[in-house]
Structure 1
Amino acid sequence: MNYEQLIHETALADERLIVMTAENRALIRNLPGPLGQRFIDTGITEQTMIGAAAGLALRGRVPVVHALATFLTLRAFEFIRTDVGIANLPVKISSFVPGFLSDGNGPTHQAIEDISLMRGIPGMTVFAAADEQDMLAMLPAIWASPSPAYVRVNTRPATYQHAPFEIGKAEIVSEGYDVTILTYGMLFEQALIAKDLLTEAGYSVGLVNLRSLKPLDSAAVLNVVKTGGLVVTLEDHFQTGGLYSIVAELLLENELTAKVLPLALKEKWYKPGRLSEVLEYEGFTGQHIARRIGEKLGDKANAFNERTEVIENQFAE
């Protein structure tokens, strides 16, 4: 099953669901026929789409809206905040090519502040799937929730068999006492590679998929902090306002401190290119992540190169 099939089946089972797009049909191009009037394309008008979705939600509908992540969160921000957020309406926002997934595009099309913006709206829930399998497991609960929701769409193939999803719960992949990587979205794939490289180098490595960023699984994060090891926040987002800020807020609220290594974009947009090139150039491949963590832990030696190619091939199979 893919995204289009899931939303099609959900719409057939629940007549409240309305599929909307601002002339971005990449994920839903076959739905106009079967859904008829419940498929609405407003054209390149993200603000109008959000306003119309709010109106439909006021009348008992559950609109699932689609557009490029950067235009949804920036161009239509006021409409999301005012029309959807203040009224706390169940509008579900599917944001296409967020973060590094907008690989070939320049800064105007890079949604790398979207988590910060969306989590700042009272009542808005925020989610980011590790891959397509993770996303398909997450969406039914998100669409069924009465809350507004922002979802980073991710259709990359899975490299890991995910646990069942529950809103507000993290997926604990492994536990470790030397270091734990907290991540979300498409960088989970690289975090898995980094975990194996670090494990081969002799470290005890934890990995947590924070697929639900708001509400956050605070207990899971605090448990990681209490192990006393290095905490790594890994994200394709600006360092300000994203996962690093989320963890910092949680620690301050609980009067705790921790050794934290943020791996994010700091005061810069990323250089456009193919996704593999972006990850390499910006230092977000599994090998780069493992090396940076190893250096923070005190291992200056290049202990990861020998195993990198083998493990990357294992995940590719």
Structure 2
Amino acid sequence: MPKIATREAYGEALAELGEKIKDLVVLDADLSKSTKTSVFAKKFPERFFNMGIAEQNLMGVAAGLATCGKIPFASTFAVFATGRAFEQIRNSICYPNLNVKIAASHAGITVGEDGATHQSIEDIALMRALPNMVVINPADAVETKKAVFAAAMHKGPVYIRLGRHPVDVIFDESYEFQLGKGVILKEGEDVAIIATGIMVGEALKAYEELKKENINAMVVNIHTIKPIDRDVILKAANCKAVITVEEHTIYGGLGSAVAEVLSEEKPVLLKRIGIEDTFGESGKPEELLKMYGLTVDRIVSEAKKLLKLKAI
């Protein structure tokens, strides 16, 4: 099974979109080789703008271009896009509901050796809190391409979370992506594993391990964190317990979004797996995922615990 970083698929999708949408423009903060917007820049140099290491200005210019009828994709590292430029995203993009797409790479702890300062683990929470913002966290390269196309067609602000680390390709080209709609990848009635981003692949592996022990798990891919698919979450709640899995803090991300739906409409046993109120560290991506419990073994273990608790 091939491994491709979602940022790579983003670069390819932009180049394809550039052929179809002449009003599409791309902006970057002097990181085009890393964010892969360089692919678009090489093909359409007159529609690419390097704003330098000035992320607030990056977002402000993107907002201005949107008012002129352009469809700007603004890219930089997630920690800078959502942290350094938060005010500009809030007041210049989301408040006037402008058609700006923010595609931020190097999200999560799988940034690796760059360490805590560059590992954005709170970006989904920040973007999800903003009115008018759509938040997408694709699972693999195929879903990333389809998400980028869907974002370009959507009218309004969109945040797309992208990764540096190569991940397994889960889907093929027949896969259908629909903004705001979760996807049930595996049916089951014992425990529902609701995952997002790169953890979808781990959830599918956990499904296979649980199956060996006669535990039937449902696996749900939530690629759009906002708007969240309430219907698929409520269907998952028909299981005896629910687990959420994300490469993000458990505060404000997928786990929180699912908990909000369940607590209001269908309370059920819930365990959130994610980064628990701490910053990341420097290390190899695989080692960090293990250190923070973002593994198949952890998902399987938590599933067993919940089912045992349910049986009491």
TM-score (norm 1): 0.89
User: Match of 1:263, SS?
Assistant: strand
Partner of residue 67 from structure 2, selected from 40, 44, 58: 58
| Equivalent runs, 1:220-259 vs 2, <5 Å | 220-225=232-237, 227-254=238-265, 256-259=266-269
Cα drift, residue 160 of structure 1: 4.2
2:5 — aligned with what? none
| Equivalent runs, 1:175-214 vs 2, <5 Å | 175-214=187-226
Cα drift, residue 2 of structure 1: 3.7
Cα drift, residue 13 of structure 1: 1.8
1:310 — aligned with what? none
Cα drift, residue 252 of structure 1: 3.3
**Count of residue pairs brought into register by the alignment:** 297
The amino acid that maps onto 2:294 is F
Tell me the distance in 2 between the aligned counterparts of 1:277 and 1:92.
Answer: 32
| Equivalent runs, 1:1-16 vs 2, <5 Å | 2-16=9-23
Tell me the distance in 2 between the aligned counterparts of 1:76 and 1:55.
Answer: 15
Contact 1:163/1:171 (<8 A) preserved? no
Partner of residue 277 from structure 1, selected from 281, 287, 296: 287
Tell me the distance in 2 between the aligned counterparts of 1:115 and 1:44.
Answer: 22
User: Match of 2:167, SS?
Assistant: coil
Q: 1:76 to 1:205 in 2, by over 3 A?
A: same
Q: 1:2 to 1:116 in 2, by over 3 A?
A: closer
Tell me the distance in 1 between the aligned counterparts of 2:143 and 2:42.
Answer: 28
For 1:239-274, what per-residue CA distance to the aligned partner results, in whole angstroms no more than 9, with x for missing partners?
Answer: 1111121112212332x3110011111111233211
1:307 — aligned with what? none
Q: 1:228 to 1:293 in 2, by over 3 A?
A: closer
The amino acid that maps onto 2:57 is T
Consecutive aligned runs of 4 or more in structure 1 exceeding 6 Å deviation: none
1:265 aligns with 2:272: no
Identity of aligned residues (%): 32
Cα drift, residue 5 of structure 1: 2.8
| Equivalent runs, 1:101-180 vs 2, <5 Å | 101-154=110-163, 156-161=167-172, 163-180=175-192
Contact 1:66/1:94 (<8 A) preserved? yes
Contact 2:274/2:292 (<8 A) preserved? no
Cα drift, residue 33 of structure 1: 3.6
2:4 — aligned with what? none
Contact 1:193/1:287 (<8 A) preserved? no
User: Match of 1:82, SS?
Assistant: helix
Cα drift, residue 293 of structure 1: 2.0
1:100 aligns with 2:109: yes
Contact 2:109/2:288 (<8 A) preserved? yes
The amino acid that maps onto 1:163 is Y
Cα RMSD for the two superposed structures: 1.7
The amino acid that maps onto 2:141 is E
Cα drift, residue 209 of structure 1: 0.4
- Structure 1 gaps of 5+ residues are 300-317
Which structure has more relative contact order (CA 8 Å, sep 6+)? It is: 2
| Equivalent runs, 1:7-86 vs 2, <5 Å | 7-25=14-32, 26=34, 27-86=36-95
